[in-house]
């Protein structure tokens, strides 16, 4: 589960990580009230789960109530890379001497935690990694040992943080590591981590991804869930109990089994298309599940074609085909459909689907064929 910045900062604060005092606001009037509480100058910050808010105009300094009002009106409702701003975080503005970067995440290939620190913060860290990889200090941390003070010191020294920032940064790193491990996060990222002119080190932004597998021991995470995400497709899919992840492409995907769904995304990519989603309908593939899946994909205006990729196992081909026939009677589909049905009783299944064959419903025998057809129907030029 990804947290919004304001939730991430609330989480940070529980582990003693220094953050600025602030409050949330859903209207311009509330923004002024929060600003009056925390004291001017303030920063008006768009709460969306996407980076680069500053560049997009979603982060603004305000010296007085009139400026807060103007910025709040401009930012609420703003579309930041496909995310509509519905909530603001208003915090007391910090003075910045230097901007750094710090994060902890899991390095799956090394089977160790990975801490990263850079003196080049406040900018896109992927860009720093590409242009100047040596500007990012990296330290693998054995989970059985944890981050030690000397490990933290090594990170800040290697990153070349200013000498006056080092003690504060090591202290913050130890707390950030404990937030990451004890707080059951998959990722904690602070960009920028700032040094103030008075020499304090402080988290100015917060990106936190909680490990959903650990949610059973964190009943308090429920409060974060109330406003989770803002992708209406994912909300609808969750209501329908589907394993759905929204993506940015134009080919809607329905597959049975997570492995097949992933392979389907890969094959669509391979032939030059972009998946609109990952959707695993599980083993059942009955009419109910198929109709639900099609309904969710139908709400996505970017979808130009739908690729149904089903491998019959315990669920036989004719059951799958009947499920699709019934689902199509229930849902009015906006985009053409390509289906690849294989596995147990695939022949019988395809026989049933023949009744549906048209320009807007085509059956293809192989996954590659079907992917190419789906990409072509979506207006692309398949490879
Ligand atoms: P992001 O663009 O989505 O990563 O949003 P951030 O929260 O990181 O803010 C972007 C930039 O806005 C920061 O790198 C700072 O340069 C600036 N900024 C954010 N908060 C403050 C603040 O309290 N004071 C000042 N002077 N600048 C700020
Ligand atoms: Mn940031």
Domain extents in the chain: 21-92, 98-221, 232-377
- Assess whether the C-beta atom of 204 lies below 6 angstroms from ligand 1: yes
Average pLDDT, the chain: 94
Q: How far apart are the first and last CA of the chain?
A: 36
CA of 180 to the centre of ligand 2 (A): 18
pLDDT for residue 353: 93
Instruction: Provide mean pLDDT across the span 99-124.
Output: 96
Cβ atoms of 97 and 194 within 8 Å: the answer is yes
46 lines ligand 1 (CB under 6 A): no
pLDDT at residue 143 greater than cutoff 90: yes
Distance of CA 48 to the CA centre of its chain: 10
Q: In ligand 1, which atom is closest to the CA atom of 92?
A: 23
Ligand 1 contact via 97 beta carbon (within 6 Å): no
Q: Find out if CATH 3.30.110.30 is the number for domain 21-92.
A: no
What is the mean pLDDT of the segment spanning 6-27?
A: 97
What CATH code would you report for 98-221?
3.30.470.20
Q: Do domains 98-221 and 232-377 have the same CATH topology?
A: no
Least confident window among 111-115, 133-137, 218-222, 270-274 = 218-222
- Active-site residue list: 101, 189
Whether 123 shows a pLDDT value over 90: the answer reads: no
Q: Is the CB of 205 under 6 A from ligand 1?
A: yes
Q: Is 47 in the pocket of ligand 1 (CB under 6 A)?
A: no
Specify the residue with its C-alpha closest to ligand 1, atom 7: 205
Residue of the CA atom closest to atom 3 of ligand 1: 53
Q: Which of 282 and 3 is assigned the larger pLDDT?
A: 3
- In eight-state DSSP terms, residue 135 is G
Q: How far apart, in whole angstroms, are the C-alpha atoms of residue 294 and residue 252?
A: 9
Nearest ligand for residue 122 CA: 1
Helix, strand and coil in the chain, % to nearest 5:
40, 25, 35
**In a 10 Å sphere around its CB, with 0-12 CB exposed, 13-18 middle and 19+ buried, how is residue 66 labelled?**
exposed
Return the CATH class of domain 232-377. alpha beta
**What token pair was written down for 137?**
């200090």
Is the pLDDT score of 370 beyond 70? yes
Q: Determine if ligand 1 sits within 6 Å of the CB of residue 260.
A: no
Residue nearest to atom 12 of ligand 1 (CA): 54
CA-closest residue to ligand 1 atom 10: 54
Q: What is the mean pLDDT of residues 331-339?
A: 92
pLDDT on residue 332:
87
Nearest alpha carbon to residue 22 among 220, 207, 7: 7
Considering every ligand atom, which ligand is closest to the CA of 98? 1
- Confidence at 306, pLDDT banded by 50, 70, 90: very high
Per-residue pLDDT band at 230 (split at 50, 70, 90): low
- Please list the alpha-helical segments (H only) found in 160-243: 163-182, 222-225, 232-239
Q: Is the peptide bond before 192 cis (omega within 30 degrees of 0)?
A: yes
Residue 91 has pLDDT above 60, yes or no: yes
Quote the pTM value.
0.71
Ligand 1 pocket: which of 62, 204, 206, 207 to mutate (most atoms within 8 A of CB): 204
Give the position of tokens 């100058």.
Answer: 41
Residue-level pLDDT at 226:
60
Ligand 1: centre distance to CA 91 (Å): 11
Q: State yes or no: cis peptide before 41, omega within 30 of 0.
A: yes
Ligand 1 pocket test, pick from 20, 40, 205, 207 with the greatest ligand atom count within 8 Å of Cβ, gives 205
| Ligand 1 center from residue 226 Cα (angstroms) | 26
Only one residue has tokens 């996407």, namely 50
Please compute Rg for the chain using Cα positions.
25
Sign of torsion over alpha carbons 333, 334, 338, 340: negative
Q: How far apart are CA 240 and CA 8, in angstroms?
A: 28
Q: Which has more confidence, 238 or 25? A: 25
Kindly give the number of the ligand 1 atom that is closest to the alpha carbon of 96: 26
Burial 192-227 (b: 16+ CB within 10 A, else e): bbbbbeeeebbbbbbbbbbeeeeeeeeeebeebeee
Q: Is the CB of 93 under 6 A from ligand 1?
A: yes
Average pLDDT over residues 202-216: 94
Give which of 283, 355, 362 is closest to 319, Cα–Cα: 283
């Amino acid at each position: 589960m990804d947290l919004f910045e304001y939730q991430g900062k609330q989480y940070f604060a529980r582990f003693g990580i220094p953050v600025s005092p602030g409050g949330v606001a859903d209207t311009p009037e509330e923004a002024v009230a929060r600003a009056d509480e925390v004291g001017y100058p303030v920063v008006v910050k768009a709460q969306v789960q996407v980076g680069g808010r500053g560049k997009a105009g979603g982060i603004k300094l305000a010296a007085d109530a009139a400026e807060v009002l103007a910025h709040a009106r401009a930012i609420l409702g703003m579309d930041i890379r496909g995310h509509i701003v519905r909530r603001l975080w208003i915090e007391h503005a910090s003075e910045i001497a230097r901007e750094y970067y710090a994060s902890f995440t899991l390095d799956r290939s090394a089977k160790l935690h990975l801490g990263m620190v850079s003196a080049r913060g406040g900018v896109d860290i992927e860009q720093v990694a590409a242009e100047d990889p040596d500007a990012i200090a990296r330290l693998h941390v054995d989970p059985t040992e944890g981050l030690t003070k000397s490990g933290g010191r090594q990170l800040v020294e290697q990153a070349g943080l200013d000498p006056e920032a080092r003690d504060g940064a090591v202290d913050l790193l130890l707390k950030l590591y404990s937030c990451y491990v004890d707080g059951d996060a998959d990722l904690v990222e602070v960009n920028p981590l700032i040094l103030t002119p008075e020499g304090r080190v402080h988290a100015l932004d917060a990106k936190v991804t909680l490990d959903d597998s650990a949610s059973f021991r964190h009943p308090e995470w429920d409060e974060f869930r109330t406003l989770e995400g803002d992708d209406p497709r994912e909300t609808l899919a969750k209501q329908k109990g589907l394993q759905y992840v929204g993506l940015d492409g134009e080919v809607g995907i329905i597959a049975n089994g997570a492995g097949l769904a992933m392979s389907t995304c890969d094959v669509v990519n391979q032939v030059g298309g972009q998946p609109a989603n990952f959707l695993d309908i599980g083993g059942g593939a009955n009419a109910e599940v198929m109709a639900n899946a099609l309904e969710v994909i139908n709400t996505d205006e970017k979808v130009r074609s739908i690729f149904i990729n089903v491998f019959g196992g315990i669920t036989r081909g004719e059951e799958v085909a009947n499920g699709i026939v019934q689902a199509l009677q229930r849902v009015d589909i906006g985009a053409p459909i390509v289906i690849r049905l294989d596995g147990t009783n695939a022949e019988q299944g395809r026989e049933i689907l023949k009744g549906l064959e048209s320009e807007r419903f085509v059956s293809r025998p192989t996954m590659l064929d079907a992917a190419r057809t789906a990409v072509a129907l979506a207006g692309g030029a398949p490879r």
